[in-house]
Amino acid sequence: MTPPNVIQVAVLKYPIDTEQRVIVCDPPLTGIITLPNTDATILFFTDLNVEGIGFPEMAFVNEIISENEGVLLIQRGSNGSWTYKHAAGVKILSGPPPNFVEFDPSGPCDVSPWDQIVNSGNGNLWYCPTSTQVWTRQSY
């Protein structure tokens, strides 16, 4: 199982429109916590959308339909984000709510408990390396 403070990265296996709530992630995400749990896993679609406008989308996981196949039922447009069409191949970041913030961190950091965070406004992924304990931007 993936540690709870690590952001997982998967890709959207098939395109989805604005109304679609069932998605397939590749590779399948692990350690998913579903609603109504207050620590329900957040999914963050890293693209703007297929039209090239808008902002990244966030979603909660309602149900794991098939863990082995990566099939999830999601609640789209979470945390005030809009729902958009997404193309196959779009990267999805997955993690618990405290890992998603609305700023880019800077300066010193403490590796516990959240050593990776995502800026939900711009999609930047940050981590706190134990060697430097300074927030560092990470690619995905």
Q: HSE on the CB side for 22, CA within 13 Å?
A: 6
- Edge-to-edge strands, sheet with 125-127: 100-101, 116-119, 125-127, 136-138
Q: How far is 44 from 121, CA to CA, in rounded Å?
A: 10
Q: How far is 121 from 17, CA to CA, in rounded Å?
A: 21
Q: What is the pLDDT of residue 114?
A: 64
Using the predicted structure, report yes or no on whether residue 65 has a pLDDT greater than 50.
yes
Q: What is the pLDDT of residue 130?
A: 83
pLDDT in tens, 5-20: 689 999 999 999 989 9
Q: DSSP letter at 132?
A: T
Instruction: List the structure tokens of 16.
Output: 């989805």
The better pLDDT of the pair 79, 1 is held by 79
Domains of the chain: 8-98 (2.40.10)
Q: What is the pTM of this model?
A: 0.86
The residue type found at 90 is: V
pLDDT in tens, 114-138: 678 998 888 889 998 888 889 999 8
Instruction: List the structure tokens of 121.
Output: 């406004």
The CA-to-CA distance between both ends of the chain, in Å, stands at 20
Other Cβ atoms within 10 Å of 53 Cβ, number: 8
